[in-house]
Amino acid sequence: MKNTGKTGSKAPKVIPRAGHNVSRDEISKSALKVLYRLHKAGYQAFLVGGGMRDVILELHPKDFDIATDATPEEVRSLFGNCRLIGRRFRLAHVRFGREIIEVATFRAAANHKDDDSAHDTEGRIIRDNVYGTIEEDVWRRDFTCNALYYNIADFSIWDYTGGFEDVKNKRLELIGDPAQRLREDPVRMLRAVRFAGKLGFNIDKSVAEAMRGHTNLLANVPAARLFDEFLKLFQAGFAERTFDLLRQHKLFGELFPATEEELSNDESFLAFARAALQNSDRRVAAGKSVTPMFLLGVFLWLPIKKLAEIRRSEEKMSESQSLSLAAYEIVSQQQRRISIPKRFTVPMREMLALQPRFAHVHGKRAMNLLQHRRFRAAYDFMVLQSEVGLADPDLAIFWTDVQGQSADERANSFQLQAGQAAGKKRRPRRRRRRKPAQES
């Protein structure tokens, strides 16, 4: 493919303090401590990456990364609160209470046989600990908007790739040949979508074209890493926009193949997924917690429900049992793409298995449902379905009302429903006709 990506320059465009809007007031005190100590010890120290980009965009970032010519071991010698992590990339983490400042040594391309670097057969980088200069490090960055270096020595910005203009114009471009950069790390396709969704950036045409030919490479990415990306994609408050971009660029089906098949054929299921994404975004905006368990349950609901119907037809079991069994099977298939920890799959299965129980609104067993540890999640799931016409809205009203009642009112509600149900089932008795006596 023709190289249409941005290329790095050996000499940066230096933007002085008067030419940009980056203020140290927007940088955490912990990050400034690390920058100043590295500089005082005679090392180069730059704020770089997403934190730097978001400061320019005035988004008040909380995470800050630092690049330096100090090796990880030299960084550790300067900070007693530092530990080294990583195999693919060797990094220093400097901890200040709950805040961690990540410090990376400038990297270079691996051009020698004894370099500590390795690629898989598709070109994906699996290890890369080759250190270099800042001029070489810029090539190891992915997007131009993430390749801006804030120099603590004089508060200037060093721009090797035109990233400063790209940030101002909200343009997302890869550094170097887009196809090669995506082969090196296919997760960059997900990062492109995530940045576009979160920041409102436009993905450059060269990047979009390269993505079209490389979506299948996500199958080579470790499933555990893709789960981490799933969290970043769908729990940052821009889930619906990100979802649309993933589907637009044919990436969602690489993550959730069974879900994508159903979304393409069922408008009601698409509406349900969209309602869940909107709900998640509202919760994040309101500062409320979100759990990946719920959204995973939404995405996998229709494949699970269809398989449950098949399992019920094959052998005798309750609807709840068939849903639990089907959930186990579908999750096992899904794990090949995204490795979902047990702490999320187990409660998800319980939440889905409770759905049939909402149809029973009388008797002690119905009342006990309120005490189930997954009731609240299952209730929210059912209400969301009712909003898009996939569940009875009267049931949603009943279970909403009953939660706000006193113990006596609640007991009466369940008894009242029991009486109504019994009345519907009661039929007039029919006399048994006596058989005529047989003639002797």
Please list the active-site residues.
63, 65, 142
**Using an 8 Å Cβ cutoff, are 330 and 307 in contact?**
yes
**Using an 8 Å Cβ cutoff, are 326 and 304 in contact?**
yes
| Angle at alpha carbon of residue 242, lines to 239 and 247, rounded to 5° | 125
Specify which residues 143 forms β-bridges with.
Answer: 174
CA separation (Å) from 242 to 253, 283, 337, 381, 407? 14, 16, 18, 21, 44
**Using an 8 Å Cβ cutoff, are 209 and 178 in contact?**
yes
**Using an 8 Å Cβ cutoff, are 243 and 278 in contact?**
no
Cα–Cα distance for residue pair 64/406, rounded to 1 Å: 50
Specify which residues 241 forms β-bridges with.
Answer: none
Amino acid letter, residue 291: T
**Using an 8 Å Cβ cutoff, are 138 and 157 in contact?**
no
Question: Three-state SS for 2?
Answer: coil
Strands 91-96 and 99-105: antiparallel
CA separation (Å) from 28 to 63, 110, 152, 384? 8, 33, 13, 40
- Structure token pair of residue 295: 């959204």
In 229-328, which ranges are E strands? Answer: none
- Integer-rounded Cα Rg, in Å, for the chain is 29
